[in-house]
Structure 1
Amino acid sequence: MARKPGKDPNVGRKIFDGLIGAVRRKMTAAQQQDMPKTVKGQASALLRDEKKHGGEKGAVKRVAERLGITPAAVYRYLSGKRKTPPKEIADRLGAEVRKIAKPRIRDRIMKKAKQSPVKIDFRASIGYTSSQTGNKTPDGRMRNFAKTMPEEYSSRLWDALRDGDEAKAEEVICEFYQNEYLHEGGGANVGTEVEIMSIDHIDFDIR
């Protein structure tokens, strides 16, 4: 999408920031459900991660290095002999488990989001161009827009995020705005094309 005079070059980046923010909010809740609750379970999760990426040999030692403790302490956590580590170690253990959970949870959320409606809420300056006359409206007036995007749009939006294609994400939103709001099923504005000139705020809510 070619940049027009007066257009904010950060429009695409702001759209991506909104999408990423929606995923992070979902991840926070999902992580709480997905994370092992016991010290033994958390230590076991770290050990599985180390074995997966570094092999069986030395896995316990590598877990100990991640936590800043001795291998003997790791064995006590794995066996369940010690269930209440010092707060500093417990916090570090939880943080390390969250790190390894992130990619898996993020991918799961993204996959589900592609198959679900997504609510979009933005305040933006919209430029209008008549495809019949080529006439353009002045920029400037901020418009509020909040509506739920059906899967046919949201799927393409998440694909754009996955591909790092900011222009495509903007095009999907503009198409949705045109077809579901401005054109109103073939109303008087059917020949009008829109472009987002600047964004004041934009949020997404994965349903």
Structure 2
Amino acid sequence: MDINSDYDSFIKRIGRLNLYLGVTSLSLIFFAIVSVIFLASNLFFIVITIFVYSIIFGINYTITNNVKKRVITDFARLFEIDIEDDLTELNNTISMYKKGEFEQIEASFTNKKHRRSRGFDDKGPTGGVLISPLDKDNQRIDAMKNNDYQDLNEDITAGQALIREADEKYAKKSEERWKNSESKDADLIEAGVERLGDLLKTDWFEKNAKDGAIKELYNDED
């Protein structure tokens, strides 16, 4: 993406729209004044003339302003500039561009683009989920009408019971293995303690400190 050309094009287009609005507004005011002067003797035509020019002025201003807003919105969306509350960030960005601070603008755009795309990345924090449960646009769920958790007190299924039983047996077996391992650990026996937690409370590790002990846990190929 050519940031320079996009910024130049945006600045020129906004400038042309502002110039057009200023010239047409002044022209309408001028012609309205001239018309009133020529029709000074007829109050009815003066009122009609002012009314017609006011309508033309309003239509011209509305159309030009809408075009300007659309141009700003498209530009802000392209470079991830926040204009929801006001145009402060947009004005600051344009100011940086005019000062030649291109690196800051490009870095800001790159970071925003990266953060925006992380939602689509399986390794991203959202796991690819784009809708947040705290999104203000989410449909309200009445707690009194929510039946998602109505059956929590009912009996579990056979499959759930089997999984629970397996988890309990595995936990019990793991605990037995751990205790058995501790009872046969030479370092624990040497220190005169029964549990690894008790060994940590002693000065055994300070007395048996060894350089490169961590490296010995890994193979040379690793």
Q: What TM-score do the two structures reach when normalised by structure 1?
A: 0.27
Higher relative strand content: 1
Which protein, 1 or 2, shows the higher relative CO under an 8 Å CA cutoff with sep ≥ 6?
1
Higher relative helix content: 2
Structure label with greater radius of gyration? 2
Q: What TM-score do the two structures reach when normalised by structure 2?
A: 0.26
